[in-house]
Structure 1
Amino acid sequence: MTTLVRHVLRDGVATLTLDRPQALNALGQKLMEDFLAALQACTADERTRAIVLTGAGRAFSAGGDIGWFGALLAGGPAHAQAEIGRFMEDAGNQITQAIAECPVPVVAAVNGPCVGGAIGIALAADVVLAARSAYFLVPQVSQLGIVPDLGATWALSRLLGRSRALGVALLGERMDAAQAEQWGLIWRCVADADLAEQAQALALRLGSTSAAAVRDTRCLIDAAPGNTLQQQLADERTAQRRHVAGDFFNQACARFLARTGHA
């Protein structure tokens, strides 16, 4: 059966490409199921040291597949409620959580429009790059009368603060990649022609670091807004104790001492 997510592993970097370009990579049921399966395959493969997420064609993703939602509504409101709730629990929410908790670093390479639920997916990555022509749009409230989902409200509030997050979510205005970088929504805006190369280089760089340290740093950063300083210092201490006993830290120290003549 044809998959709607391409999975290519090169030099330890797994690139997952949403591959439904004729529909702007809209997040229909099969694409999401294929996406989750691809993520799970990556994390189960010991050769994978980092992951890049991107889209085929001219969009990262146009967000939810309205045609599929319409077909569900044809079965009545109760049917639509049940199916969409199941879809979110079994696929959509699991994808966002799998990215946010991935055992290896994840880079999102936003190559074009990133709309609706796709924003939650992209912003769950550790580092987000966007092509200069890309834009971000949250249309759920203003156009559809539903709420942002797949983690978008979690990410927007933490990255932008309450005022900007509400403005982005309620007004449904496009935010171009340059503004997204300026506001701190993404790490960097790059030339369209350079996106794939820079995403690969960044993933290789992240993949050469300690995956355990990446995971713990991610957890510390995410927990910080809800922690007191005392709690955060304690969590840092706990994590640091784990890592100083690890091979990566010991080998790094040995290399440094050898270079400086203190070995």
Structure 2
Amino acid sequence: MISTTVLDDGVHEVVVSEPPVNALTVAGWFGLAEQVRAAGAAPSARAVVLRAEGRGFNAGVDIKEIQRSGPDALIGANRGCFEAFAAVYECPVPVIVAAHGYCLGGGVGLAGNADLVVAAAGTAFGLPEVDRGALGAATHLSRMVPQHKARAMMLLAETATAEELLGFGSVYAVVPAEELVATARDVAARIAAKHPRVVRAAKESLNGIDLWDVRRSYRYEQGFTFELNLAGVADEVRAGFGSGS
């Protein structure tokens, strides 16, 4: 389930709850994109908080759905992720991601495209794609860690902690898990208290001076996922994979 609540002062909160690990189906990714876009489009919106319930923030795509449904699910997952990541990046008001537990695969795509990230202590960020027979979201990981760190994390499928990312400046704050929601809401409220037209202009201008086109860059990455699937390599790797990630 993905739901949106309007908090005080124009803060819209989008919450993902898809047990057991918040690995989203094709419909889930498109649904998330729709709700983030709707939140940002609301005339009253001044900031958006994106968070999740359960064991972790996001475990990426539902691999089991792809195993069951084949190419159509793969195409849908790629397009759904593309839309959800773009919805966060293109949201006309700032998006604050509140991550806890783990932020993997598509979770990195969401966090990497957000304006600010707050995280619970010990949250693990990573791209397990190489171990899943796929690629993608290196575009977004590269916005969160230095280049050689990103390469090591991707090639070795290793994770980095919220504390490490705090040192890189890509995580704004690391707090105890029980304080995460309140912290994210407080950050959003502080933004919402500023002049809305100025904040919207700041968001648009920051996107306008970005060093690379995140949409085009991510779409380029997705082409290699299709290539691996057409070659049969992805099926070979996924055959030994037992849970959604």
Aligned to 1:225: 211
Match of 2:87 among 92, 95, 98: 98
Residues 191-226 of structure 1: per-residue CA shift (max 9 Å, x gap)? 111111110010011112244443444455452536
Mapped pair 1:129 → 2:112 = no
Conserved? CA contact 1:52–1:199, under 8 Å: yes
Residues 157-184 of structure 1: per-residue CA shift (max 9 Å, x gap)? 2332321111111111121111121123
Aligned to 2:134: 146
Aligned to 1:51: 48
Match of 2:11 among 5, 13, 17: 13
Compute the displacement of 1:23 (Å).
Answer: 2.1
Larger radius of gyration: 1
| Counterpart amino acid of residue 14 in structure 1 | H
CA RMSD of aligned residues (A): 1.9
Question: What are structure 1's unaligned runs of at least 5 residues?
Answer: 74-79, 227-263
After TM superposition, the structure 1 = structure 2 runs for residues 84-123 of structure 1, keeping only pairs within 5 Å, are: 84-89=74-79, 91-123=80-112
In 1, Cα distance between equivalents of 2:127 and 2:103: 9
Compute the displacement of 1:56 (Å).
Answer: 0.8
In 1, Cα distance between equivalents of 2:198 and 2:113: 18
**Change in CA separation of 1:67 and 1:164 when aligned onto 2, cut-off 3 Å:** same
**Change in CA separation of 1:219 and 1:49 when aligned onto 2, cut-off 3 Å:** closer
Compute the displacement of 1:109 (Å).
Answer: 0.4
Aligned to 2:216: none
In 1, Cα distance between equivalents of 2:210 and 2:23: 33
In 2, Cα distance between equivalents of 1:130 and 1:102: 21
Aligned to 1:28: 25
In 2, Cα distance between equivalents of 1:134 and 1:51: 21
| Counterpart amino acid of residue 78 in structure 2 | M
Compute the displacement of 1:29 (Å).
Answer: 1.8
Question: What are structure 2's unaligned runs of at least 5 residues?
Answer: 213-245
**Change in CA separation of 1:169 and 1:213 when aligned onto 2, cut-off 3 Å:** farther
Match of 1:40 among 37, 41, 44: 37
Asked which structure has the greater RCO (Cα within 8 Å, sep 6+), the reply is 2
Give the TM-score normalised by structure 1: 0.73
Give the TM-score normalised by structure 2: 0.78
Compute the displacement of 1:107 (Å).
Answer: 0.4
